[in-house]
Structure 1
Amino acid sequence: MQKLNFPDYTFRFKSKENKIQIFDPVRKKFFILQPEEWVRQHVMQYLIREKKCPVSLVNAEKELKINGLSKRYDVVVYRPDGRIFLMVECKAPKVPITQETFNQIARYNMALKAEYLMVTNGMNHYYCKPDYQLEKYHFIEEIPTYIL
């Protein structure tokens, strides 16, 4: 897999049925190593190690219902009271980040109301803070370090 625009992290790998798998410490199991999964694993390590998000409050690849449709978010970090600190949309490194990517996370966020949003393809990272009163998104340099 290609080097991403994140610090270097150590991952656990195994081979099963001629496919490389990567261990996910959040979901506590191995997943086939696809380009988007490679980005997701880097994002989770970044959040846990650099942004000090408690691993017990990080969630990955869960289903949510939006207007009766089943969707899956990539990564969500919760607050202890159940509010959402951050929602992340991951794309494979070759997938450009477009307006449609932001529209996708904005649709998901209508249901979740996260404090911060992150969109990444592993090479380019975008962060924003929603303003729910003004119904706007403010782009920011980076997300803050997690504080309980």
Structure 2
Amino acid sequence: MFSLQFPEFHFRVIGRGRQRYIFDRVRRRYVKLTPEEWVRQHLLYYLIDVAGYPTGLMAVEKMLPGDSQGRRADVVVYDPAMKPWMIVECKSPDVTLSDEVFMQMVGYNFPLQARYLLMTNGHQCWGCDCSTTPPCPLQAFPPWPS
């Protein structure tokens, strides 16, 4: 597990009635601003602006293929060949990263078979490289494959 220190990002936030919405640059629309969405947007900005991951190879709230329950992965990053490369599960800042969250992410990876799995609550991040046996814990976000 490693701690996160996101730089300050400038988000577009609007109000509609009593609700606030934040612009999601991957989905290209405003979405309801919840604590989990706040974490997801910080993560997306970090991956795009700091780590150099391409926006065009990301999906947010991605429906899992063949899943009759309608489950969605928070963020899926694809490699240049359009294969799932990384899955990220975002949780609200008050949610503790746990084995239960990890098993949720593993379930998402079953149909996708991504190399990297990450979960974050905005304060901490835990991830692993699934290309090794056993999976190897990550100490930082994996570098984008050039």
TM over 0.5: yes
Opposite residue 139 of structure 2, the aligned amino acid is E
1:44-123 aligned within 5 A:
44-65=44-65, 68-123=68-123
Q: Which amino acid aligns with 1:124?
A: Q
TM-score computed with the length of structure 2 as normaliser: 0.90
Structure 2 residues not aligned, in runs of 5+ = none
Residues 67 and 88 (structure 1), Cα distance of their counterparts in 2 relative to 1, 3 Å cut? same
2:140 matched residue in structure 1 = 142
Bigger relative CO (Cα 8 Å, ≥ 6 apart): 2
Alpha-carbon deviation of 1:131?
3.3
In the alignment, what sits opposite 1:128? 128
Partner of 2:38: 38
Shift of residue 80, structure 1, vs aligned partner: 2.1
CA distance in 2, matches of 1:33, 1:87: 21
Provide the rounded CA distance (Å) in 2 between the counterparts of 1:71 and 1:32.
Answer: 19
* Per-residue CA distance 1:21-53 (angstroms, 9 max, x = gap): 100000000011100000010110111012111
Alignment-derived partner of residue 9 in structure 2? 9
Q: What RMSD in Å do the two structures reach over aligned CA positions?
A: 1.6
Give the % identical residues.
Answer: 38
- Match of 2:142, SS state, is coil
Q: Is the 8 A contact 1:66 1:108 kept in 2?
A: no
Gaps of 5+ in 1: none
Q: What is the CA distance between 1:19 and its match in structure 2?
A: 1.1
Q: Give the count of matched residue pairs.
A: 143
Larger strand proportion of the pair: 1
